[in-house]
Amino acid sequence: MVRLTELDHLPQGLLERPASALHHVLDGPTLIHLEGRIKKPLFVSVLQHGNEVTGWEAVRRLLKSHYDFDRLPRSLSLLIGNVDAARHRLRRLDDQLDYNRCWPGGKYDDTDLGKLFQRVTDRMRSMSPFASMDIHNNTGLNPHYAAINRVRSKFLRLASHFSSKVVFFTIPKGTQSLAFSEFCPSTTLECGQAGQVHGTDHSLGFIETCMHMPDLPRSPVDADEVHLFHMVATVRIRDDVLFGFGQVPTDVTFHENLDELNFRELPSGISLGEINGGPQRPLIATDVNGVDVTDHYFRFDRGQLETTREIMPSMLTLDRRVIQQDCLCYLMERIHFEDHVEGTDHDPLPEGFRRSDRPGRPSGQR
C-alpha cells in the first residue's frame, strides 16, 4: 500500500540526493510545507513520473539557495511523487498506476493512489494556494510549453510567464492540474527532455517568479502574449500491433524522426510511416469524450499511415515503453484570438516526411 508522508521541514540530506537516490530518504509520496514571508503557498509537484527529473533538480537549486540562508519569499508546498520509479529511472514501474492519472476526477478514485491524491487535494484546498504547477519532461522532441485546464485570465497569465505556447486540455482525466484547477490557477509545465540544463534553468526561473509574485492579475492576456492550442484527441497504438521506427520488420514502421513533427501544423496527406501488416486500423484516436474519431484524422488503405486533415501533434516520442504505457501522441488545434490574425506559412517538414502522392480525403470526410 502506498502511503502519504506530510512534513513541515526538509528531511536531512534530501537536497543532496538526485531523484534516483530519494528512496533512501523518502518512503513514498511526500508533501512538504515550508513557510515563507508571503503566507499563501505555491504548490509544486515533481516526479509524478520517475524519469522526469527536471522539476526536482529545479527545486533542489531553489531550496539550496534559500532554505539554509534566508526565509523563502513565499510559502511552498512541495509534493515529491514516484520515488520508487525514480530509483529505476522509469516513468512508472510495471505494477504501478500512472500517478498523474490518479487525481480526483479520474477513473482511479477508488484505488489506494486515488485516495492518497484525494487527501493531497483536500489538504491543499484548505490552504488556498496562490497557484499550482506540475513539472514534467517529454521523451520526444517538444518545445517548452505550459498547459492549462481552464481558459481564464489568471490561468493564461500564469502559463504565459513560462511560455508563449499554451495548451488547453481536459484529457486525460485524473491529472494533478485538472484537479487543482477547481480551486486555484494551475498549470502543467513541459520542460523538454530530462537532463537538459536549459529545462532546469527555465523551470527554476518560473518557480522563482511565482515565489516573488504578490498576485496574478485578472487583466486579459494580450493576443501576442500567448499562442493557444486545444488538445482534441489522444492517439494510441493498438495492443496487438507490432511497431518500430526506421528500417524494422514490423506491422507499422514509423519514420525514425517522427518526434520532429511535434508542434508542427501538418497538412492533410502527410505519411507518418508504412503499414506492412497487422490490423487494418493500427491506431485508435479518441476525442475528449472517449469517442473513436480515428477515421476523422487518419487513413490506412494505401500501405501508408496518412493524415486526412490538418493536425498538430504533441508528445510524439520514439520511446516504445512510454508509448505502451501512455500513448503515441495527442492532437491539437489552434485557438485563435479574435484580434489575432495568424499567418498561413508552415515550417518546412523534417527530412523524410512528405505529402502523399495523391491528396487525402477532404477534411471531415469519413
Confidence tier at 69 by pLDDT (50, 70, 90): low
Cα dihedral value 288, 291, 292, 294, nearest 10:
-40
Of 219 and 126, which is predicted with more confidence? Answer: 126
Residue 232 has pLDDT above 90, yes or no: yes
Amino acid of residue 312: M
Cα 62–Cα 66–Cα 71 angle in degrees, nearest 5: 130
Q: What pLDDT sits at residue 222?
A: 79
Residue 150 has pLDDT above 90, yes or no: yes
* Distances 123 to 7, 47, 68, 169, 258 between C-alpha atoms, Å: 13, 19, 26, 24, 42
- The label of the residue with cell 486500423 reads 281
Confidence tier at 18 by pLDDT (50, 70, 90): very high
Q: What pLDDT sits at residue 338?
A: 52
Cell of 247: 528500417
DSSP state of 250: S
Cis status of the peptide bond prior to 172, with omega within 30 of 0: yes
What is the average pLDDT score of the chain? 90
Q: What pLDDT sits at residue 240?
A: 94
Of 53 and 140, which is predicted with more confidence? Answer: 53
C-alpha to C-alpha distance for 250 and 345, rounded to whole angstroms: 35
Contact yes or no for 360/306 (Cβ under 8 A)? yes
Instruction: Please state, for a pLDDT cut of 70, what percent of the chain lies above it.
Output: 91
Task: Convert the pLDDT of each residue in 241-264 to its tens digit.
Answer: 999 999 888 999 999 999 999 999
C-alpha to C-alpha distance for 229 and 256, rounded to whole angstroms: 26
Q: What pLDDT sits at residue 347?
A: 47
Question: Among the listed ranges 45-59, 295-309, 333-347, which one has the minimum average pLDDT value?
Answer: 333-347
Q: What pLDDT sits at residue 139?
A: 87
C-alpha to C-alpha distance for 266 and 288, rounded to whole angstroms: 21
Q: What pLDDT sits at residue 364?
A: 32
Cell of 193: 527532455
Residue 356 has pLDDT above 90, yes or no: no
Q: What is the mean pLDDT of residues 74-86?
A: 98
Q: What pLDDT sits at residue 359?
A: 36
Cell of 275: 503499414
Q: What pLDDT sits at residue 1?
A: 78
Task: Convert the pLDDT of each residue in 303-327 to its tens digit.
Answer: 999 999 999 999 999 999 999 999 9
Q: Where are the domains of the chain?
A: 5-225, 232-335
Instruction: Please state, for a pLDDT cut of 90, what percent of the chain lies above it.
Output: 81
C-alpha to C-alpha distance for 175 and 100, rounded to whole angstroms: 5
Confidence tier at 130 by pLDDT (50, 70, 90): very high
Contact yes or no for 42/187 (Cβ under 8 A)? no
Query: Which residues have a Cβ under 8 Å from the Cβ of 220 and sit 6 or more positions away?
Result: 153, 156
Q: pTM for this structure? A: 0.86
C-alpha to C-alpha distance for 57 and 59, rounded to whole angstroms: 6
- The label of the residue with cell 516573488 reads 212
C-alpha to C-alpha distance for 224 and 180, rounded to whole angstroms: 27
Residue 348 has pLDDT above 60, yes or no: no
Residue 274 has pLDDT above 60, yes or no: yes
Confidence tier at 351 by pLDDT (50, 70, 90): low
Task: Convert the pLDDT of each residue in 154-209 to its tens digit.
Answer: 999 999 999 999 999 998 999 999 999 999 999 999 999 999 999 999 999 999 99
Q: What is the mean pLDDT of residues 209-237?
A: 90
Q: In three state form, how does the secondary structure of 51-73 look? A: CCCHHHHHHHHHHHHHCCCCCEE
Cα 188–Cα 189–Cα 190 angle in degrees, nearest 5: 120
**CATH class assigned to 5-225:** alpha beta
Query: How far does CA 297 lie from the centroid of its chain?
Result: 22
